[in-house]
Amino acid sequence: MTLCVYVCMLMYVTLRTRYNFFIEDAQREGLRQVKERDGIPEAEQIRRAIDAWLEQKGVSKAALRRAPTRRKA
């Protein structure tokens, strides 16, 4: 008797944009240390820091996710 199990996964995919920028050596080393200690990849650390900074500046994630409205011509 063969038992087949099918698993359906729904994945939430977010669109991302690539950015290139320079950071100081001390910042790079700090990111590496956190990755080694906590297992959080450098890119994820940077995304979290940007989210925290935007929240501090009063920009909500919900407002950023809303699709822009189109103007009628």
- What averages of pLDDT result for each successive group of 10 residues across the chain (73 residues)? 53 79 97 98 97 92 64 57
Query: Alpha-carbon distance 68 to 50, whole Å?
Result: 21
Q: What's the pLDDT at 29? A: 98
Instruction: Specify whether the CB–CB gap between 32 and 45 falls below 8 A.
Output: no
pTM: 0.65
The encoded tokens of residue 26 equal: 């001390």
The encoded tokens of residue 73 equal: 């011509």
Instruction: Specify whether the CB–CB gap between 42 and 31 falls below 8 A.
Output: yes
